[in-house]
Structure formats: structure tokens, C-alpha cells
Amino acid sequence: MDLKSSEVAKHANGRPAKARIAGVYTPHIVPLHDDGQINEPELRRYIDWLIAKGVHGLYPNGSTGEFTRFTPEERRRINKIVCDQAAGRVPVLAGAAESNVKETIAACEAYYEYGARAVAIVAPFYYRLSPESVYAYFREIALHSPIDITLYNIPMFASPIDVPTITRLAGELERICGIKDSTGDVANMMRMIAAVRPMRPDFVFLTGWEVVLVPMLLLGCDGGTHASSGIVPELTRQLYDLTMAGKLEAAFKLQYRLLELFDVMLFSADFPEGFRAAAELRGFAFGRSRQPLSKNQQVDRVALQRVLQCILADNGYVDEPSGGCAPRSGNLQQDRVAQITQEVLKRLRERGVV
């Protein structure tokens, strides 16, 4: 059954039918209270907002969701809340990465019961493993998982999943239904598609690097999991729709608009702090991350948020800061200083000091 993720059907037993995983999935941030505990009401409100803004699916416990900073029990709770709040309106691709095979299989079993469409599992992390070990790891999980599995290739943080290993897993294990690749390597994505799709036309290819979403869709990707869709879901959905409709001139204009926002969020602070700072500007109380910030980082974050507010204001998503927006140079550090300076000068003029 080839359904868009917004057209989720139901089996007779009430479980979601197997909608094809396609479109924009949001690896979303988790709101926290001041004491660091999960803010469930705000998380539910955020999920409703993302769905209303048009995301095709949800991806709890991804890298942007800081899954390693939660306990296994908290990760399960997050997935349960998201599946419950989504209520079949969009599919849930549940992050199920744990530190060992036994716990990962247990997570797969739990998320199947919660109603997730599939799970995403990162290759083994901490230990840098050989391709044969990566193959054995995923094979063991796939043989015991009740739910479909998407591989998650993010070699900057985990053992890489190379093309021969992907081809081997896809050919041997039907339970493995796709891959999310976060390298942004267009040529390698082409190699994966060329190797796997002839034998597995149903195999899903997702990119985790939104600044090349248009090129990835054009070469055959089914969609992507994008942190930016948690901040500007309208833009990422429009970007997908325009590309799929063949309106490439308009799509590439949006791709370049997304590039500036993405670069500032990604390179301005330790990931995903820039995305947290931007998401707060959309009207949600995300609270402080589990990762402590130094005093210098806290000051930098305030300046960063002002620059992000100006970028979002340029695109019509939020209002400008009260002090207006300074011209941006493309150098983030200079832009931070210029923005804060402009706001300070405005306040001084209002007080008659200058």
C-alpha cells in the first residue's frame, strides 16, 4: 500500500496500516521543565502544532531529540507520549537506539506495542566496528524485531554503514525497510539507491541533511528526517511539495533560504543548542537542555537567538526583535555582535543617552 503519511489507514485490530515512509519527518526536541523533567503537556502541544503545520511524520528520540541524555525509561515515555498524541494522524518513526542488542530489541517490542510505524536504529556507537560487525548487529535485531527497521547512518557519531553492508541487509532481511543517511553525501546516496532499489523497490531512502533535500529527492530519495522541520515545518513541507510537483525553480529558492537558517543553527553552538534556541522562537517553552551551559555559552545563546529571530522574521515566521535587525554579513560572530549592538544603541537612544 503506497500511502502518503497523512493518509494513515487502520487495520481491523486498530493498529496503523503500513503507510509508506515518505516525506518530511521531524526529529523533534523534547520540552523540559525547570527541574529537567519532561514537560508532557508542552510536548503534546508541540506535536499537535507540527502535525497542523504539515509534517508527514514524527521522529522522537533522534539526535535532535538528544536521546542519549535521557534514561531508557524516559526514552520509552517520550515515544509513548508521541505515539499517543499523534493518534494515527501521521506515522511515528521511533528512535530505538540503545547501547546493546538486548535493550534495542526490547525497545523495538515496546514501540511496536505503542503503535509506531517503524523504528530507526543507529549503528553501534562508542566502539568503531568493522562492516561485518555492523552487519551482524543489525541482523540480530531484525531477526527478533516485531516492527520494521530503518538503518540510521551517521558516521560522525557511530560506526558507518557502507554500501555493501546496506545491500546485504536489504537483500536478506525484509524487516529492514529503509535507511536514513545523515552524511549529506549525494554521490553515496546514489550508490545506495543504485545497489538496493533494483532488488528492493519498497526500500525507503531518507536523507538527514536538509540543505540537500531538493537534490536528494530528485535523485530518488523518498524524503528525509530534518531538524529544521521542528522550527519551520511550513518551509520544509513546501520544499518537499514543490520538488515533488516538479516546480524546481521555486524549490531551489526555498532551499537557499533554508541553507542560511540551517547553517546558523548547526554551526553556532554545540548541536542541537542552536535548534533549541530557534524552536523557542516559535512560541514553545522548551526549557534548558540536559547539557549544562557555561556563563559564556549562555551569553552567546542570547545573541544567537536574536540573529535567528531576524532570519525567521525575514521569512515571515516571527516578528523582528524590538531593536530591529542589523544587516547580516554571513559571519555569525560578527552578526551576533552587530545585532546586540544595534539593540543596545536603540535602548540608549530611547533613554536619550545617545
pLDDT digits (tens, 9 = 90+) for 101-156: 999 999 999 999 999 999 999 999 888 899 999 999 999 999 999 999 999 999 98
pLDDT band at 354 (very low <50, low <70, confident <90, very high): low
pLDDT value at position 299?
Answer: 73
Mean pLDDT score across all residues of the chain:
90
CATH class of the region 1-244? alpha beta
pLDDT value at position 13?
Answer: 37
Q: Which triple of cell numbers denotes residue 284? A: 514553545
Task: Quick: pLDDT tens for 187-215.
Answer: 999 999 999 999 999 999 999 999 999 99
The Cα–Cα gap between 311 and 187 comes to 31
- Burial (0-12, 13-18, 19+ Cβ within 10 Å), 294: exposed
Alpha helices, DSSP H, located in 38-196: 40-52, 72-86, 101-114, 131-144, 163-172, 186-196
Sketch the domain layout of the chain as residue ranges.
1-244, 249-354
The Cα–Cα gap between 87 and 92 comes to 10
Give whichever of 109-113, 288-292, 296-300 has the largest mean pLDDT.
109-113
